A and B are shown apart, each in its own frame.
Chain A
């Protein structure tokens, strides 16, 4: 683990803020479970506690106010009405802002902060103002400290008596271990009594010199913990029969259990206590008592909760804190790279074996197949580590929508769907900006003003739906608003004004909608705070294509618009078809190929000067010569005879002419970022079985760069224009 305690605190804050947001969103959605309120209270309290420990006063002050209001709610003294919920949501945003400011050293908007504080104060009864709190260390789990249940700090370790039965096997002597040294080590730890048990010693005649007959009964009185005692016998583990019983054991175990209980169940206690008794959160917690069985002990929560399996049930309900491991991203990436190499290595091996002059390679091939499957398993596992639910990202987006609504004087709510869809971490990180932009646009341009909505017969509150789902090997993210839809005449007019399209261009509705993505297009009449900062939707599009995805917009006037972002599931591997083009080996993504075929002369039809169409079962599709499009020189004059039928975003079909198809396989994607600039027609590179690099083609841009096929697409537009 890298980083200081403070870093850990901020990492925890992220999670806590997430929990807060989640809870508030649930409450906003009509969740009346007291546990939800409690969860938020605990999260905010933990942030406050940690912030106190680091002297982050602004954060403490704000969190305290926030928490106090929640305390009122949770004690049942205050009703959660819509107005308060809005305030709490905005306060939660402010809390995030404060945490960010504390972490990155940024500035906070003092005025905004004060407004919120004042607004929160209105909800706080006078006498509650002096609620004190004590900063707490980070070592103790926050919610525990919350209740004053600091798990019995092992201040002065108790002397404990361990009874150890130690009987070496003969193997122990065989490995050169000597009981005496073990005893000596134990003696260093405390008061030691060793008693030899020679009962098993046979008569002299029957004795096998290499056998072990002796055993020792050891009594050790020490302040050290059981694990330290056990550690002494670490090296003879499996070489002896060992049992360690300690008087202190029961107690130690109970302590540990109590601490665990406190961590998991105790926080559940105050809700029950509070709602029933209406008391402040000071729940007396009896010091852990020795208890042989964990079930017997547990905290008040268990007693209050009527359902027998309340504990586990509740945790599952809340999506409970699953044990997690924080690992540096770099380590995971190293692993991913290594697995990538492993897969390349496999294909190299397979190729070598295929080249071998051996008649029967079946056995080897079977084994190789096993190797391949294992490698894939590992790869999937590793990729899964990188995959993360989009939830945190979506939650942040809720904040964006709230801010944007406040700034524009509109009321919008964000509905999230498919929050648990898992996406590669990099994708999540790099989606943040495009999503922010789209959502701001949706609020600013999409959703109408409340009065206009009313006239249009819609609910005053605009709804923006943000959903994520998996769709056959890719991730689909949809942003759908119920606003006015794209104002097509206006969009077209602007495009003409900006010289993006000719004045008399005839465009289909879809084409007009897609003008939004044209570079330099921004419809904002005046530069507002939200959108129109000189960056337009083209930036969004670039960000999405940069991730190997694509974005589409569809819109219905008066009903709203939908942005659809399709992204690859992983950024590291994909299924590709290995082809050769102008003596170069290249890879075409399987996902874009509809069909492959070997063409004959009678299938090719000329159109115009140099346009060629391929006839497929009566349909004509333009042919795009990949080599020509890539500007590659073909040494042999051989006409490409193999066609890959691909379909573009706009649904247009095109036949990519290549020289040959070799293979279909999974390839590891190697980004060309930083290796060279953007190359038209090439998406990335990969390393093939022979160690050579192959370009991964981007059919979309190949078609765009191809003179004939591209012409086919733009022909209409151009002919209409001129």
Chain B
């Protein structure tokens, strides 16, 4: 935990008041740094990848590029999302590659002071813990900051 907290500090401290985009996944509030997000698109049916794990929805055509779409909810160990037109795909860039993340809906852009970020208190849900970098309180709700590297680098190991 110590190491993780340190990591968080370094990541966020150099930029005072970073902008984050908050969105909901399975009814919970999450957020990503705005600079990590390339675009937000409405959900449209994807092409299924055979033998893919439950949290990989498939691939999508993003202006000629084939990008994988992950179901964040399933990834966090929550229930699988029944994707519909109302849902959004957040396109992020991880390790220089575009990746789509399915979220329920996008809420707003919030400005966060790095000092306000709290460490994730240990809870008995390892799956989620790995993916959360820290939490903040915004408008009396808890918003979880996603550790994108953990979310995206992990699947490669899981998949055969």
The chain A residues found within 8 Å of chain B, CB to CB, are: 337, 340-341, 344, 584, 630-632, 670-672, 674-682, 685, 687, 691-695
Whether the pair A680, B64 counts as a contact (CB closer than 8 A) is: no
Complex Cα–Cα for A691 and B47 (A): 11
In the assembled complex, the Cα of A488 lies from the Cα of B46 at a distance in Å of 49
Q: How far is the CB of B54 from chain A (nearest CB, A)?
A: 12
Closest B residue by C-beta to A582: B48
Is the Cβ of A675 less than 8 Å from the Cβ of B66?
yes
Q: Does B61 contact A (CB under 8 A)?
A: yes
A676 in contact with B97 (CB, 8 Å): no
In the docked arrangement, what's the CA distance between A680 and B46, Å? 19
Q: How far is the CA of A674 from the CA of B60 in the complex (A)?
A: 14
Taking the closest CB of chain A, its distance from the CB of B133, in whole angstroms, is 24
Judging by beta carbons under 8 Å apart, are B61 and A691 in contact? yes
Known interface pairs A341-B64, A344-B64, A685-B66; A676-B47 also in contact (CB < 8 Å): no
Separation of A687 and B47 alpha carbons in the complex (Å): 10
Contact of B48 among A337, A344, A584, A680 (CB under 8 A): A584
For A694, the chain B residues whose CB sits under 8 A away are: 47
13 interchain pairs, CB-CB under 8 A? A337-B64, A670-B65, A672-B66, A675-B66, A675-B68, A676-B49, A676-B155, A677-B155, A677-B156, A679-B50, A682-B50, A685-B66, A693-B61
Q: Looking across the interface, which residue of chain A has its beta carbon closest to that of B64?
A: A341
Please tell me if the beta carbons of A676 and B52 are within 8 angstroms of each other in the complex: yes
Which chain B positions have C-beta within 8 A of A676? Answer: 49, 52, 56, 59, 68, 155, 159
The answer for the CA separation of A303 and B147 in the assembled complex, in Å, is: 76
Given contacts A632-B48, A672-B66, A691-B61, 5 further A-B contacts (CB under 8 A): A632-B50, A675-B67, A681-B51, A693-B47, A695-B49
The answer to whether B68 touches A630, judged by C-beta atoms less than 8 angstroms apart, is no
Residue B122 lies at the interface, judged by CB distance under 8 Å to chain A: no
Contact of B64 among A584, A682, A687 (CB under 8 A): A687
- Point out the residues of chain A lying under 8 angstroms from B50, CB to CB: 630-632, 679-682, 695
Smallest beta-carbon distance A152→chain B, Å: 51
B residues adjacent to A (C-beta < 8 A) = 46-52, 56, 59-61, 64-68, 97, 155-156, 159-160
Cα A530 to Cα B156 in complex, Å, equals: 33
Say which residue of B51, B60, B156 sits within 8 Å of A631 (CB atoms).
Answer: B51
Q: Is the interface of A mostly helix, strand, loop or mixed?
A: loop
CA distance A676 to B152 in the complex (A): 11
Closest beta carbon of chain A to B65's beta carbon, Å: 8
Q: A676-B59, A677-B159 are contacts. A670–B47 as well, Cβ < 8 Å?
A: no
Who on chain A is nearest to B59 by CB? A693
B95, chain A: closest CB distance, angstroms: 9
- Are A692 and B49 also in contact (CB < 8 A) when A670-B66, A674-B97, A687-B61 are? no
Closest to A344 in B: B64
Write the nearest CB–CB distance from B83 to chain A, whole angstroms: 15
Minimum Cβ distance to chain A for residue B135 (Å): 30
B47: chain A residues at CB < 8 Å are 584, 685, 692-695
Q: Can you name the residue of chain B whose Cβ is closest to the Cβ of A337?
A: B64
Contacts of B65 in A (CB 8 A): 670
Contacts of B66 in A (CB 8 A): 670-672, 675, 685, 687, 693
Smallest beta-carbon distance B160→chain A, Å: 6
A contact residues around B51 at 8 Å (CB): 630-631, 679-681
Closest chain-B Cβ to A716's Cβ sits at a distance in Å of 27
Contact B49 A679 (CB under 8 A): yes
B residues less than 8 Å from A695 (CB atoms): 47, 49-50
